[in-house]
């Protein structure tokens, strides 16, 4: 049984389907918060864009990993590198068509995130550096990209009276991805050190980094409660669901302490993004 489950799990995680579902749901949630028509073409675009970005990151990144670190997830990536290349090509082809189906205004708004994603994954700077190889900015770029993509399409249609709430949501999404991604930097301290890339945990230490993570998740809960209250008023069921979403996130981060297994990080922790998105979406569906 294990001989069947392990390859399937590797495929699900390292094909980037898992993280792409999370990204798509993270975007889907935004439409439900503002009760806007769901743009399935854009959500599909987000799904395939995430597959392409993460696959390209793995294709390029594995070449930069020193031999001493080629075990665990890196061994899986190296073993199935040709498969990952195929996933990237399929995603790229899907994206070309999906992009042509998007509203021109949305296409224009996507230009900057697309450029950032390209520079993040592809070595275009001196000495083969990518944008993520510069000190400290990797985590901020990830959070900014996820937040921007999740709200870009609704920016065109959200009611002008709710524009402040829109920016609160954008802030919440940035803060949430920052919080949920910082534990990955804690796990990768030794690898980033070997690659001479400085990260926030390397600068302030693991303990202070986790304080920031928990503080950000509490701020996210307050922000989402503020959004609920200011658009729809008090609703106990919805508030309870919002509380559950962020409590689960805090619990998942807490459990990550001391862990190095990518099954937990790329499996459970990335999956929490999807669970949170579905829970928040349902919370706003109820009002």
Domains defined for the chain, CATH in brackets: 2-285 (1.10.600)
* Euclidean distance between CA atoms 160 and 238, whole angstroms: 24
Mean pLDDT rounded to a whole number for the chain: 93
Residues 87, 55: contact at Cβ < 8 Å?
Answer: yes
pLDDT of residue 69: 65
Worst-scoring range by mean pLDDT, 24-38, 47-61, 121-135, 266-280?
121-135
**pLDDT confidence of 263, banded at 50, 70, 90?**
confident
Cα angle 116, 88, 55; round to 5: 60
Q: What is the pLDDT of residues 83-104, one digit of tens each?
A: 999 999 999 999 999 999 999 9
Query: Bigger pLDDT: 237 or 14?
Result: 237
pLDDT of residue 85: 94
* Euclidean distance between CA atoms 251 and 1, whole angstroms: 30
pLDDT of residue 67: 67
Cα angle 270, 17, 168; round to 5: 50
Does the pLDDT at position 133 exceed 90?
A: no
CA atoms within 13 A on the CB side of 120: 24
Above pLDDT 90, what percent of the chain? 74
Give the torsion sign (CA, 61, 134, 142, 71): positive
Closest C-alpha to 43, from 57, 58, 22:
22
Residues 152, 113: contact at Cβ < 8 Å?
Answer: yes
pLDDT of residue 41: 98
Burial of residue 5 (CB within 10 Å: 0-12, 13-18, 19+) is exposed
Give SS3 for 26: helix
pLDDT of residue 108: 95
pLDDT of residue 208: 97
Q: What is the pLDDT of residues 191-245, one digit of tens each?
A: 888 878 899 999 999 999 999 999 999 999 999 999 999 999 999 999 999 999 9
């Amino acid at each position: 049984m294990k001989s069947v489950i392990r390859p399937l799990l590797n495929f699900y995680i390292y094909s980037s389907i898992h993280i792409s579902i999370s990204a798509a749901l993270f975007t889907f949630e935004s439409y439900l918060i503002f009760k806007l028509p769901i743009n399935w073409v854009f959500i599909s675009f987000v799904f395939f864009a995430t597959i392409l970005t993460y696959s390209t990151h793995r294709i390029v990144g594995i070449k930069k990993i020193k031999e001493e670190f080629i075990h665990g997830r890196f061994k899986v990536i190296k073993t199935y590198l040709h498969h990952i290349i195929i996933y990237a090509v399929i995603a790229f082809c899907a994206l070309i068509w999906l992009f042509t189906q998007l509203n021109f205004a949305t296409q224009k708004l996507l230009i900057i995130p697309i450029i950032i994603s390209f520079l993040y994954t592809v070595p275009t700077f001196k000495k083969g550096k990518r944008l993520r190889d510069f000190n400290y900015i990797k985590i901020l770029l990830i959070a900014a990209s996820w937040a921007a993509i999740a709200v870009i399409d609704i920016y065109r249609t959200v009611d002008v009276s709710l524009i402040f709430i829109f920016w609160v949501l954008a802030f919440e999404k940035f803060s949430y991805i920052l919080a949920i991604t910082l534990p990955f930097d804690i796990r990768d301290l030794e690898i980033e050190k070997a690659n001479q890339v400085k990260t926030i945990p390397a600068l302030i230490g693991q303990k202070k980094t986790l304080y920031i993570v928990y503080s950000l998740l509490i701020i996210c809960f307050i922000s989402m409660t503020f959004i609920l209250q200011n658009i729809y008023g008090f609703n106990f069921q919805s508030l309870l669901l919002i509380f559950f979403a962020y409590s689960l996130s805090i619990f998942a981060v807490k459990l990550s302490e001391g862990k190095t297994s990518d099954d937990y990080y790329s499996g459970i922790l990335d999956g929490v993004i999807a669970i949170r998105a579905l829970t928040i979406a349902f919370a706003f569906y109820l009002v």
